[in-house]
Every structure is written in C-alpha cells, then in structure tokens.
Chain A
C-alpha cells in the first residue's frame, strides 16, 4: 500500500476517524492503531507479519530483562543477545546471499569451490527500519535513557506504527513511547502544516520524482552507452533531485500522517543540497539515520575521543556500514566509503589552521558548497547504478563522448529547478502558511487542500513507482 494511491487514501480516511473516535480510550486506541499497522504491513505480504511480531517480542523481552538485571555483565549479555537477534534476522534476509556469493568468488579465485547454495529469500519490506527501531529501544533502555516499557502493546505499536514502518523517519523510543502514555490533544498539532506536508510530499513524489525517473533517469541508467556525455552528466544531477524528492516526500507524508493522528515525528531532511561540507550534508540528509548511526555505531566505536587516526577509522567504518545498510551490493559499500573518506577530509579541514584563516569568507563558502554538492551528486552515481560494471560504463560514456545528440526531455530542467526551489525556500514558510490556514477555518482549508490536490492530479503521470527507499 503506497502512500500516493487510492488504497492508502481510503485506508487513511477510515483510520483517521476510527482513531480519533477512540481518543478518550487510550488502550483501545492503541490496539486499533496496532491492528491498522499490521493490516498496512500485511498488504504487502501477510507472511512477514511474523517477522514484525518477532521483532516486537524480542524488543519487549530484552528491554524488560536489561532493565531488571542488576549486574552489569548480565545486562550487557542480554543486550548483546537482543542486538544479535535483530541483526541476525536482518543479515539472514538481506545479506546472506551476498556474503555467500563473495565467499564463493574468493574460493574460486583461490582455486577451489565452496559447496554453498543461495538461500534465495524474499527481502521483507521495511526490515531495515524495523531493525533500527528495535535496536534503538533496547540500547536506550540499556543506557538508562528510558525505562523498559511494561506494556507489550506500546512496544509492538512503536515497532510497527504504520506511518514510519516502511521507510522511516527513524523515531527513537524515548521520543515515541512517552506519546503513547496519554491520548494526544489535537490542539498540540497544526492541521494546516500537516496537510501542507502531505500535499507537498505528494507533489515531490508524484510530479518531480516520477517524471524525472520515467522520462530521463531510468532510461539513461539502463543503457548509458546510448546517451551523450551531456545527458550522462545531467542524469546524475537529475537523479540527485529525484532521490531527494522521492525520499523526502515519503518522510514528509509520514510526518504529516502521524501528525494528523496526533503523534510527533522528528524532522528527516533540512535542505541537504545547501550543505557546506559533507559533515553538514549528513546533518541535513536523512537526519534520523545520521543521528542513529552516530549514537549507536560511531560513538560506541570511540567517536572522536581517541585521536585523529581512530576518529578517521570510526568515520570510515560508520559510513561503510551505513552504505552497506542500503543494500548488499559493492556499489553501496563504495558509496559509503566515498562519504566516509570525504567526512575524514572534512573533519580534518574544519579543524585546521587554514580553515580558521580562510574557511569562513564568502568565496570559501561558495567553493565549499560547490565541492560538497558536486561530490554528493557524483557519489549518487554509485548509489543508483545496478553494479560496478554499470558505473564503469557510465564513466566511460562521460570520458569518451559518443557524439550522439542530447535527448534530454525539455521537462527535466524545470523539474530540476523545482528541486532547487525546495532547497532555497524559507525553512519556516510551510509552518507559517500552516498557521495562517489554521486560523482561516474549514472552508479555506478545504479550498486550499482541494486546489493543491487537483493541481497534483492534473500534473502527475498515471500510476506511481514505488518509493526508492522501500527496497532498503
């Protein structure tokens, strides 16, 4: 059940009234939300409901044990077991075939054959985000950041809540669980802003991302040899806009839907292509993943506490594993390694005397932005390409122009311009307009909502491709 579909529109219209009608009965409301979330997940593949329930059960039981165990070694053991179970499930479904293939290739290169077979399992939707939420909960309980929940209902709902279930944002347990303790008050939320979040997300996904993908990016990446050097370069920039529009659309809709149901989700994007430096980029792009990787991987590895070399190693490890999280493919691993290397350089540069002397002037800021933006775009090539061979073909096409005329459709540049607008618009514009809408009453809200949705339906191509991050 994709967000921009009639299926989800009807599902949400039904859920909205049902959930708010039970607002005075918090337990019943949470039970209904859990049932709705399970139904949402089952719409992809009901068999994987067991996975969702197993993840919830592991989190609940390990959380209780970690919270109750008085002696630290047992707490650490229970935590390790819980994390290993979560990662084991993820590893089995997502990485086992990849590592089997690498082992067989290595053995073949060394002159012998390994008697291994592939497991060939279907990758369950949302498995990575399930794992992030589950680990976040038990580690936060272990660290004493929150008490273990005595309510299995709360934990199952935290793991499976349908707005964040499939592709985030990653909502920390200490942010979400307290919201389940008491019924939400509609007065704590802006209807106008949440409606604009959802409609803006629909526009970014259905118009910008879909057109860029179908009209230009997908054909170029399927066979780069058919396209001119100019087209290949433009396809990289177009993909940068497409992936931003696609992924930020999903999380905007998720935040808006959660807000309309009375739950706060954290911000996930903050105009990332304005970043000055790779460190700044990762504070603006997929912010909930960045902070998750920082808190549950980079800092436990030692962070920046043990000197420059250890910091560089920790940055590289964090980003390589972050890259590999996106998929079991060398392209993702290299994408992570590229970002890790850039972070190491960025980290060293911003602590240097040269940066203190020249780094804050207007020219330096323009250079900083241009280097960051172009590096991020070039790295997207590894992220988007299906294999390293495909990356090689792409680079070969850019190096030796085939002389073909450009076939880039005219619609690409306006769409890229729309993407650019999202990066330079005043950050508080949506909140301000949302409050204005809140103060205008139902007629104005309905009129604005209808006009915007009408425009989106007029502009959108038929059908909708899945969100890019569904595969992760």
Chain B
C-alpha cells in the first residue's frame, strides 16, 4: 500500500516547517482578518480574550488601511456572483 506522506525531503527541520505554517496562517489572517475578530469576539464574554481581540482588531485595521481586506471581500463577492449565489 502506498504511503503518500513518506518521502525523502530536503527541508527536514520541524522548525522550518513551523515557520512556513505560521507564515501561511499569519498571511491568511491578514488577508481575511474578519473571521478571527468574529471568532475571538464570540468567545470573549468573560473578557479574558481582550488582549488577542485587540491585536486582531489592530491587524484588521492595518489590513483595511492597506486595502488587503477589501481585495479579499471583493474577490469573495465576485466569486459568489459568478456561481450565482449570495454566499459570500
């Protein structure tokens, strides 16, 4: 039986992997900050997520200021329209 994840790679350090994973997640949060803000907001009834929520709102503001967030929103709207629905 083939084992699809058994390959001899050259990037063999899990810390190098971690850098890539965190970079991908951070870039995605920067591109679509609304999801994380809403997620933190929903769970902040006791106020113990206030600091990460403030940070996420800061990222949201930076993304908006640079126009990155709007690009993502526009693309989602365009895709939803292209496939004939109002999902985005």
Contact = CB atoms under 8 A, between A and B. Distances in A.
Interface stretch (A181-189, A299-307, A319-327, A351-359): A181-189
A91 interface: no
Contacts of B35: 6
Majority SS at the chain A contact face: helix
Interface residues of B, number: 41
B17 to A, nearest CB: 5
Contacts, number: 139
Interface string B69-80: 000100110010
A189 B9 contact: yes
Nearest to B27: A450
Given A454-B31, A457-B28, A462-B87, A266 B5 contact: no
A411 B83 contact: yes
A185 B13 CA distance: 9
A442 B79 contact: no
A434 B9 CA distance: 9
A433 to B, nearest CB: 11
A265 interface: yes
A82 B23 CA distance: 47
A264 B5 CA distance: 7
A9 B25 contact: yes
A89 interface: no
A402 interface: no
Contact of A446 (B10, B20, B76): B20
Nearest to B36: A6
Contacts of A410: 83-84
Interface string A161-193: 000000000000000000000000111111111
A442 B19 contact: yes
A215 B85 contact: yes
A445 B20 CA distance: 7
A16 B9 contact: no
A450 B83 CA distance: 23
Contacts of A256: 5
B11 A191 contact: yes
Most-contacted residue by chain A among B72, B76, B83 (CB, 10 A): B83
10 closest Cβ pairs, A-B complex: A190-B7, A438-B9, A259-B5, A187-B12, A20-B14, A449-B24, A461-B87, A446-B23, A411-B83, A450-B27
Given A13-B21, A20-B15, A190-B9, 19 more contacts: A6-B39, A16-B18, A187-B8, A194-B5, A214-B87, A255-B5, A264-B3, A264-B5, A266-B1, A267-B2, A410-B84, A441-B11, A446-B19, A446-B27, A457-B28, A457-B76, A458-B75, A458-B79, A461-B85
